[in-house]
Amino acid sequence: MIPALLLTPSLAQAQWDIQDSHTTASLRGIANVGGGVAWASGTEGTVLRTEDGGYLWQTCATPPGAEKLDFRGIQAFDENTAIVMSSGKGELSRLYKTSDGCRTWKLIFTNPDAPNDGFFDTLLFLDRNLGLVFGDPAHGLNNPVEGGYYAFRIRGTYDGGKTWIPVSDPETPSPGENLMPVGSEGLFAASNSSAAVSGGWLWIGTGGGRVLRRRLYSNLEDKAFLFQGQICGGAIDPISHACGIAWMDWTNTSTPLSASGQAAGIFSLVFRTPEIGVALGGDYQKPDQTKSNAAYSLDGGATWRSVVTPPQGYRSAVAYNPTTKTWVTVGPNGTDISRDDGKNWSPLKPTASEPPDADKNWNALSLPFVVGPKGRIGKLRGDALKPANP
């Protein structure tokens, strides 16, 4: 394996095309559909859409009652269909869906632990019908299916967002087991990427620097019945009118990422295969700190290894480019890449013809697009990640 540090200086260039979003909203949600179609989302109920690769970004109609919401996640399926997730305490966490190119929106789900509990962090779809929404730990006092104990919140849909069924644990595990947090541990909603799926496996990265892992399905027949409630033999969820989805077989593992304080932990988690994945984060209050901000796994998340050469600071999002076999991670103080599955990271720097901060002030990735504060949108140029000696 060729070390990533052998990259030539001419390769280490953050070749972003900075685009005009026509908004000053802070953007954290980005979803590239392909074929020139992409969607973005952010504060003040902002949703954007492009059909021409970002040459023109359209400002969408604001979903009803969402003028003050913070849309930190978006999942898009084509030029007409997308689901957007707002994050906030209680009823400020919601899901809206459009099927007409964002001319109109329908509220499809509101945090069931409102008004005093719950916070949505990540929205993740396996396809246009099967999806999951993940939230911070909450008490299940409003729902007999979820129980009264304090646990991470997960709901699944099998019908494109019409029905959201709670994931439950019939047992009451100890802290650090299944969906039970350790202390005040939560998830981060920085880039809508604190959970990942690949090859039938699911991973969740926590603010405690842990990874929760379980097998979702082993074949396509099992996948067809994902997120449907079990046969009722007891309590019924008052929202979906179904029994809960009983998941008890989680594996929880620790990572080398920093988990000291409420501002540190895993912010982004991606697996390019069921075995190979990376976790990025650090401490967002210490953006220049390189200690304990990245880890990688070669065995499906069963164990995590410290990187040899870390990214140049706190990182909020990571993505993989299969064409160039390159990982890209972004944050407030720069952009880094890895060509050896996360073992070594090297900075991408702007060329002389680009703005000096072209590599900085980014929140989230959906390659080739990246978004950040104050309406910032960029697009990674097609040749930016090509190896020096292919």
How would you write the pLDDT of the chain (390 residues) with one tens digit per residue?
333 333 333 344 448 899 999 999 999 999 999 999 999 999 999 999 999 999 999 999 999 999 999 999 999 999 999 999 999 999 999 999 999 999 999 999 999 999 889 999 999 999 999 999 999 999 877 778 877 778 999 999 999 999 999 998 777 778 888 999 999 899 999 999 999 999 999 999 999 999 999 999 999 888 988 888 766 767 888 888 888 888 889 999 999 998 788 899 999 999 999 999 999 999 999 999 999 999 999 999 999 999 999 999 999 999 999 999 999 999 999 999 999 999 999 999 888 888 889 999 999 999 999 999 999 999 998 788 887 654
- Is the CB of residue 245 less than 8 Å from the CB of residue 230? yes
User: What are φ and ψ of residue 90, in 5° steps?
Assistant: 60, -130
What distances in angstroms separate CA 325 from CA 15, 320, 390, one per listed residue? 17, 7, 11
d(CA 277, CA 135): 22
Distance from the first to the final alpha carbon of the chain: 14
Q: Which pLDDT value is given to residue 242?
A: 86
3-state secondary structure of 90: helix
| pTM of the predicted model as reported, rounded to 2 decimal places | 0.93
pLDDT of amino acid 233: 62
Compute φ and ψ for 112, nearest 5 degrees. -75, -10
Please check whether residue 33 is in contact with residue 77, taking contact to mean a CB–CB distance below 8 angstroms: yes
pLDDT at 1: 36
Q: Which residues contact 243 (CB under 8 A, 6 or more apart)?
A: 145, 165, 229, 230, 231, 232, 233, 234, 235, 236, 237
Burial of 298: CB neighbours in 10 Å, binned 0-12, 13-18, 19+: middle
Instruction: Identify the pLDDT of residue 211.
Output: 98
3-state secondary structure of 102: coil
Q: Which two tokens stand for residue 79?
A: 């030029």
Give the model's pLDDT for residue 389.
59
Which residue, chain included where needed, has tokens 């001419």?
A: 10
Rounded to the nearest 5 degrees, what angle is found at the Cα of 185, between the Cα atoms of 180 and 187?
95
What is the model's pLDDT at position 229?
A: 72
Q: Where does residue 13 rank: exposed (0-12), middle (13-18), buried (19+ CB within 10 A)? A: buried
